[in-house]
Amino acid sequence: MTSTGESISEIQTFFKGTNVFVTGATGFIGHVLVEKLLRTCFVNKVYLLVRPKKNKDPQTRLREMFSSTLFTRLWDEQPEFIEKVLLISGDCAEPNMGLSLADEEFMVANIDIVIHCAATISLNGPLKHTSFINVRATRDLLLIARRMRKLKSFVHVSTAFVNPNQAITEEIIYDCHIRGDALINLVENMSDSILNSITPECLGSWPNTYTLSKCVAENLVKEYGQNMPICIARPCIG
């Protein structure tokens, strides 16, 4: 029950009082997700992974992020929501997501729910850059989540187009011809020019680097998320 005596849903009950870590909060889905969490889900804190920017302090960045009209209702009804939002400096293109050791250990001790929305959605982006953000960051976040002492759920946001080579896509994780760790090792150790030349061979039956990377990432979730409370969402937009 809320303070006004209204009943709350199972989803609200699940999120109530939790600390939620979100990547990709500046994207379309991330924006909508964060607004909904803050406005209706009674969370304790929401931690957002953001790339560091020179000459901008965290409060300035927070105000910029929440200046969108999407958050107008939240500002009007719950202006104190901003006190629930904290930024964690990081970059999904960097090893271990660019997290400091102190932030990583804080997450291990305090985060209840992880929602991994971050991705590069350029369909034909360079294999190296796409793999760093969509594949390696997923693996590295899973490794951190496996150590989390209070983890209730790890949600990986994939795409409805993750298996374009399937006539009918069911709610299962389809095998991929490239293992995640192998792809990461490949892009970390080969030059851009060599990777660009072998990209068509790496793609196999996938039409572009984006869909391939998302399929590889789903398989990493399956591999590294064993015995974890895992969920994969496949939205039609990104």
In whole angstroms, what is the distance from residue 192 CA to residue 70 CA? Answer: 39
pLDDT given for residue 69 in this prediction: 95
pLDDT of 80: 97
pTM (predicted TM-score): 0.94
> If you write DSSP's letter for every residue of the chain in order, what string do you get?
--TTS----HHHHHHTT-EEEEE-TTSHHHHHHHHHHHHHS--SEEEEEE---TT--HHHHHHHHT-SGGGHHHHHH-GGGGGGEEEEE--TTSGGGG--HHHHHHHHHH--EEEE------TT--HHHHHIIIIIHHHHHHHHHTT-TT--EEEEE--TTS-TT-SS--SSPPP-SS-HHHHHHHHHHS-HHHHHHHHHHHHTT-SSHHHHHHHHHHHHHHHHTTTS-EEEE--S--
CA–CA separation, 108 and 210 (whole Å): 30
Q: Which amino acid is at 11?
A: I
Q: What is the pLDDT of residue 3?
A: 58
The end-to-end CA distance of the chain, in Å, is 34
Question: How high is the pLDDT of residue 57?
Answer: 73
At the top level of CATH, which class does the domain 10-233 belong to? Answer: alpha beta
Under-50 pLDDT residues of the chain: none
pLDDT attached to residue 238: 56
Give me the residue spans of the domains in the chain. Answer: 10-233
CA angle 140, 113, 222 (to 5 degrees): 50
d(CA 127, CA 196): 7
For the segment 138-173, what is each residue's pLDDT rounded down to a tens digit? Answer: 999 999 999 999 999 999 999 999 999 898 999 999
159 vs 193: CA distance, rounded Å: 28
Tens-digit pLDDT profile for residues 177-210: 999 999 999 999 999 999 999 999 999 999 999 9
Residue 35 is predicted with a pLDDT of 98
Q: Are 28 and 238 in contact (CB under 8 A)?
A: yes
